[in-house]
Amino acid sequence: MKSISLEQRPLKTKILGVLGFFEPSTRTKLSFEAAGRHLGIDWLDLKPQDLSLQKGESFQDTFKNIAQYGVKFFVIRHSASYFPHLVHEWTGLPVLNAGDGMNEHPTQALGDAMTLFQTFKGKAKICFIGDAFRSRVARSSLRLFQVMGHSVSLVDDGRDKKISEENKAFAHAFGIPVIPRSKISSCDLVYCLRSQKERGSVGSQNPLNSGDLGKTTKLMHAAPVIWGEDMLVEIQNLSPDRNLILLQAENCFRVRTRLLKQIGEAKTR
């Protein structure tokens, strides 16, 4: 048997993943990184400023080269919809979508679905408020809530004609009703969306406040919360059984841990 040189002898079996975040992220990036470290995954951190893209290299060549370094999968966030799908096409490796433009945020949706499972025994009446039109969280989580059989609607307060038009188009695409702000109080849960300035939000409705909520209405938000724009800070005083934001963060971490475990155990090449 041909012996391998000392230099080539592996220290121990390791799984190497690549974190490629081309948009800012706190929760998604660090929860993937933490989950991976707990499982023993090693990460390459693909920082946009370190790439040879600045010299004129294409994304395709960049990813094809990185795929030669014994990496097993990618976790990708990008401002362009379907960019993670391209990375899979270029490399043939598994890619976890950590948020692509206005399109999808699947691991957020799975964490949110888990939060609903833990919180409601049966079907819930859920409304979304905020810039749903530009929100990948709305596209992924809302769709999953519908699949789970919950009743979903979109709030419009009629303050801004352009926002109302966008809300109407979004609601039509998802087959959900648009409801006035006064109806939030009759919902079991309000899901407040972040103002999407980086994607050209055209303005905002009045921030969600305690007066909008019914006595038992619960609250979700994928965070980061823009206090004073998305919601008034007084909402922080909701009891933990009604304010589900940190539970969402915990569940997203659990979902990501589970997905990494599955990828780590799968035979991919």
Q: Given the complex with ligand CP, which of 153 and 251 has the nearer CB atom?
A: 251
Give which of 38, 34, 43, 35 is closest to 15, Cα–Cα. Answer: 43
Residue 132 or 179 with smaller CB distance to ligand CP: 132
Structure tokens, 176 = 């959900």
Q: How far apart are CA 110 and CA 131, in angstroms?
A: 21
Binding mask 163-202 for ligand CP (x = CB under 6 A): ----------------------------------------
Residue 61's contacts (CB-CB under 8 Å, 6 or more residues apart) are: none
Rg of the chain on CA atoms, in Å: 21
Whole-number minimum distance, CB 68 to ligand CP, in Å?
28
Q: Name the one range near ligand CP by CB under 6 A: 8-16, 49-57, 87-95, 222-230.
A: 222-230
Piece in contact with ligand CP (CB under 6 A), picked from 19-27, 141-149, 179-187, 200-208: 19-27
- Provide the minimum distance between the beta carbon of 156 and ligand CP in the complex, in angstroms, as a whole number: 23
Q: Across-strand partners of 227?
A: 231
Residue 25 or 204: the one with the smaller Cβ distance to ligand CP is 25
Residue 189 dihedral angles phi and psi, to the nearest 5°: -150, 135
Chain positions 84 to 103 lying near ligand CP, rule: CB under 6 A, are 99
Minimum distance of ligand CP from residue 265's CB (angstroms): 25
Binds ligand CP by CB under 6 A, chosen from 47, 197, 224, 266: 224
For the stretch 93-96, contacts whose Cβ atoms lie closer than 8 Å and that sit 24 or more positions apart, written own/partner, are: 93/67, 93/268, 93/269, 94/263, 94/266, 94/268, 96/32, 96/256, 96/259, 96/263
Binding pattern to ligand CP, positions 20-49, x when CB under 6 A? -----xxxx---------------------
| Binder among 129, 219, 222, 244 for ligand CP (CB under 6 A) | 222
Options 71, 148, 223, 232; binder of ligand CP; rule CB under 6 A: 223
Residue 31 makes CB contacts below 8 A (sequence gap 6+) with 249, 252, 253, 256
* Strand ranges for the chain from DSSP E: 15-21, 41-46, 73-78, 95-100, 125-129, 151-155, 178-179, 189-192, 218-220
For the record, the structure tokens of 67 come out as 């795929």
- Is there binding between residue 107 and ligand CP (CB under 6 A)? no
Per CB under 6 A, residues contacting ligand CP are: 25-28, 99, 108, 222-224
